[in-house]
Amino acid sequence: MTLLDMETTSPGEDRQLVLAVRHGRGRTGGSTFADYLIQRTRREGREIIVGDGDRRNATLAGFYPPGTEGGAHQPPSDQTPDVKDWIGHLVGKMVEERRSLIFDLGGGDQALAEFCRELSLSEFCASVGVAPLSIYMTGPEVEDFEHIVTIHRSKVFETERSMLVFNESLVRAGKTPQGAFDAIMERPEILELIETGTEIVVMPRIIHIAEVRKAGLGFYEAVEGKPGRDGKPLDPLKRFSLKTWLDRMEGQLSSGKFREWLP
Amino acid sequence: MRDDMGDLGQPYGGHGDVYRWLRENYEFVKAWREGRKPSWKTVAEKMGEKGVVGSRGAAPTERSIWKVWQRVCRDVAAEREREAAEQAARDALAERRRNYPSRQPAAGPSLVEATGRALVPVGAAQTAVATTAAADKEKEIEEKKKAARRKLECLSGLRPMSEFLEG
């Protein structure tokens, strides 16, 4: 059986493999969103390969230590040729092992652009039946949005499926989300994205993320009262707050197109 | 299902039985998959019941049906896009014809009812239509922006989700 003949739906169900790439400026919450998506996918019993291409700020590799089961994969260096080879390696692994893949490339966007110039990743995905998904992250800053528009227009990683995630955690402290994204919503490019099929998602502010991270817990583990590194579970109020956050995320992602789009 | 008539004169000529069956049952299969989400195995069984066979005469596999389905979806989307473009071109032509000078009253300091509301001179009729079209477009953009803002506010919990679902 050749690579191109391989079945690309997950075993036991009629679900397509997904190659998700998170785009966006640094510190827009992309790694947190990716982490949530990884946990959600694995919790639902599906496998996903984690590609952390951000060598300078390897957040996902911190959560999923390389070399461990389900651990993140990292390129040997942040040099573009190395990152390109690494992208190719993980894409091959995705198809061979029939597991979805999520890339958090950070500054590796450039490597992805070069990779795609040499080989159309989107066309490759279509040929092997993998669904590419772009995840665009933005805070309230117009510059975050402009960065996304540039990537979207470049058609480097052309996808029919894309989601624009508004991160409320980036709304300045003391301000409410009301009107925080107005400057972006006034931009004509927002319609350009929506009309090309981009779906909007709001990632609510996570208040107790630092405690969850410090305890070394996943979102679901923390909510379920699993003890952290100090042997204690998160206190009930924080668990409730986190559960509310998870419910709001699930409410958005378990309906409509996302049921098919997500890994 | 296969016969000796070849593809001449048949819809979707040049394609196999699986493609043809999926095209003929496109809306059904689409709605079926969006609703109950049957596995491709079920679809294969359904095809088997109807005697649909693959290009080599064998029963189609789940994988082969899925691959043909991708092609069918692409083709249907392209066809609908083409039809919409053709319709838009026809509408635009009809709109232009309605405003030909020859269609306007010939004599005197002509006045035509260009917008259905105001009387404007013939020379200004096409400008008025263009202006109305531009205003409509602008209004449409504003409506879309408003809808996007409403969606964002609903997802942010600032408005009830019911407004988003209704919108």
Tell me whether residue A9 is in a domain.
no
What band does B156 get if pLDDT is binned at 50, 70 and 90?
confident
Q: Is residue A57 part of a domain?
A: yes
Q: Is residue A125 located within the same domain as residue A249?
A: no
Question: Does A158 lie in the same domain as A125?
Answer: yes
State the pLDDT at residue B6.
35
| Residue A141 resides in a domain | yes
- Would residue A185 count as lying in a domain? yes
Counted domains in chain A: 2
Q: Where are the domains of chain B?
A: 1-98, 112-167
Q: Is the pLDDT of residue A250 over 70?
A: yes
Q: A169 to chain B nearest CA, in Å? A: 12
Is this complex scored with an ipTM above 0.90? no
- Residues of chain B positioned with their CB less than 8 A from the CB of A251: 161
Residues A156 and A190 in one domain: yes
Is residue A8 in some structural domain?
Answer: no
Q: Are residues A251 and A130 located together in one domain of the fold?
A: no
Report d(CA A171, CA A202) in Å as an integer: 12
* % pLDDT > 90, chain A: 63
| Whether A20 and A32 share a structural domain | yes
Q: Could B155 and A202 be called an inter-chain contact, meaning their C-beta atoms sit closer than 8 Å?
A: yes
Which of B39, B149, B157 is closest, CB to CB, to A185? B149
Each residue's pLDDT tens digit, A18-66: 999 998 888 899 999 999 999 999 999 999 999 999 888 899 999 999 9
Residue A84 and residue A156 in one domain: yes
CB-closest option in B63, B70, B158 to A178: B158
DSSP state of A247: H
Nearest-angstrom CA–CA distance, B147 and B141: 10
Q: Which amino acid is at A98?
A: R
Residue A142 is assigned to a structural domain of this protein? yes
Q: Are residues A192 and A164 in the same domain?
A: yes
Confidence of residue B7 (pLDDT cuts 50, 70, 90): very low
The reply to whether A153 and A219 lie within a common domain is no
Test B155 with A194 for CB contact under 8 angstroms: no
pTM as predicted: 0.66
Asked whether the beta carbons of B88 and B96 are under 8 A apart, the reply is no
DSSP string computed for chain B: ---TTTTTTSTTTTS-HHHHHHHHTHHHHHHHHHHT---HHHHHHHHHHHT---TTSSPPPHHHHHHHHHHHHHHHHHHHHHHHHHHHHHHHHHHHHHT-GGGS--SSS-EEESSSS-EEEHHHHHHHHHHHHHHHHHHHHHHHHHHHHHHHHHHTTSS-HHHHHH-
User: Is residue A202 within 8 angstroms of chain B, CB to CB?
Assistant: yes
Chain A: residue whose CA lies nearest to B148: A185
- The answer as to whether A1 is a domain residue is no
Whether residue B156 and residue A204 make contact (CB cut-off 8 A), yes or no, is yes
A141, A39: one domain = yes
Residue A4, in any domain of the structure: no
State the nearest Cα–Cα gap between B86 and chain A, in angstroms: 20
Question: Are residues A193 and A215 both part of a single domain?
Answer: no
Residues A170 and A55 in one domain: yes
Domain range for A237: 206-258
CB A142 within 8 A of CB A112: no
| Residue for token pair 């922006």 | B145
Q: How far is CA A57 from the centre of its chain?
A: 15
Whether the pLDDT of residue B109 is over 70: the answer is no
Same domain for A184 and A57 = yes
Specify the pLDDT at position B128. Answer: 67
Q: What's chain B's average pLDDT?
A: 72
**Average predicted confidence (pLDDT) for chain A:** 88
Put simply, the answer to whether B37 touches A14 (Cβ < 8 Å) is: yes
